[in-house]
Amino acid sequence: MPEMTFTISWPDGSTQSCYSPSLVMHDYLVAGTEYTVAEFIERSTTALTTASERVRSRYGMYCTSAAAQIEELDLAARVHDPHSLVRVLDMNPPSLPGESS
């Protein structure tokens, strides 16, 4: 199962490197795009939960790294106004045109 990383910039300018066990993140986030903190948390939680489900269906157990990433993002988001903006700086590997995860 292909995995990926993505880097975000929080409203205070700090950056965070994140992990997903699946390329499904491309279905929910776009590199170079800004989302409100609330929307980013909703999208990333949904994507990471879906990624963890994919791991479960393939290997019989949920991905603890995806769950930990959800917790880290949620904790970091709490110090920011939910209407302020998070920017997705990059996603690796990048999405290819016409590619579906």
Q: Is 30 domain-assigned?
A: yes
Q: Residue 61 — φ and ψ, nearest 5°?
A: -150, 150
- The pLDDT value recorded for residue 83 is 98
Overall domain count for the chain? 1
Domain of residue 69, residue span: 4-92
- The pLDDT value recorded for residue 99 is 53
Q: Is 85 domain-assigned?
A: yes
Q: Is residue 89 a contact partner of residue 15, using CB atoms and an 8 Å limit?
A: yes
Q: Is 98 domain-assigned?
A: no
Query: What pTM was estimated for this model as a whole?
Result: 0.90
- The pLDDT value recorded for residue 95 is 78
Q: Is 99 domain-assigned?
A: no
Counting as low any pLDDT under 50, the low residues of the chain are 100
- The pLDDT value recorded for residue 5 is 97
Q: Are strands 85-92 and 4-9 parallel, antiparallel or unpaired?
A: antiparallel
Q: Is 24 domain-assigned?
A: yes
